[in-house]
């Protein structure tokens, strides 16, 4: 079976698209960074290092310091698929991030995006 091509895509190619999507809806790069850091455990500095090093998605998630245990509370549909039903761990992590960026762009309050009361 052929591996999904997003796994080898540079995170740095997609990161500006996340920012642009959020900014089009009145959100900020700082909020995008906060969401990514919450999910992955990266600090702002280590996140920027990953972007600068142009690591691929597999490496980005493999090197994530601490994948947030509350990520299991992220539910819903991304690209026509329920994120909570994705069996491939890496694809699920990528889709969790997509879902969080979608929620940010849709104007959801940050405390809900970060599952603060879960």
Q: What is the pLDDT of residues 60-77, one digit of tens each?
A: 999 999 999 999 999 999
- Contacts of residue 17, defined as CB under 8 A and 6 or more positions apart, other chains included, come to none
| Domains and their CATH numbers in the chain | 5-111 (1.10.8.290)
Q: What is the pLDDT of residues 5-35, one digit of tens each?
A: 889 999 999 999 999 999 999 999 999 999 9
> What pLDDT score was predicted for residue 4?
85
DSSP E strands: which ranges in 10-111?
A: 77-78, 81-82
**98 within 8 A of 78, measured Cβ to Cβ:** yes
Whether 101 has a pLDDT exceeding 80, the answer reads: yes
Task: State the pLDDT confidence band at 118, using cuts at 50, 70 and 90.
Answer: low
Largest Cα–Cα distance in the chain?
A: 41
Give the rounded percent of residues in the chain with a pLDDT score beyond 70.
97
Structure tokens at 20: 């642009």
Q: Is 1 exposed, middle or buried (0-12, 13-18, 19+ CB in 10 A)?
A: exposed
Q: What is the pLDDT of residues 43-54, one digit of tens each?
A: 999 999 999 999
This prediction has a pTM of 0.93
Cα-flanking dihedrals φ and ψ of residue 103, to 5°?
A: -60, -40
């Amino acid at each position: 079976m052929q591996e999904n091509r997003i796994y080898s895509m540079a995170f740095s190619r997609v990161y500006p698209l996340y920012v642009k999507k959020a900014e089009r809806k009145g959100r900020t790069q700082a909020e995008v960074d906060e969401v990514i850091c919450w999910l992955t455990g990266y600090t702002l500095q280590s996140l920027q290092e990953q972007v600068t090093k142009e690591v691929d998605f597999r490496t980005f998630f493999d090197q994530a310091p601490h994948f947030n245990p509350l990520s299991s509370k992220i539910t819903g549909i991304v690209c026509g698929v329920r994120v909570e039903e994705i069996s491939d761990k890496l694809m699920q992590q990528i889709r969790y991030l997509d879902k969080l960026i979608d929620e940010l762009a849709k104007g959801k309050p940050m405390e809900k995006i970060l599952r603060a009361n879960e």
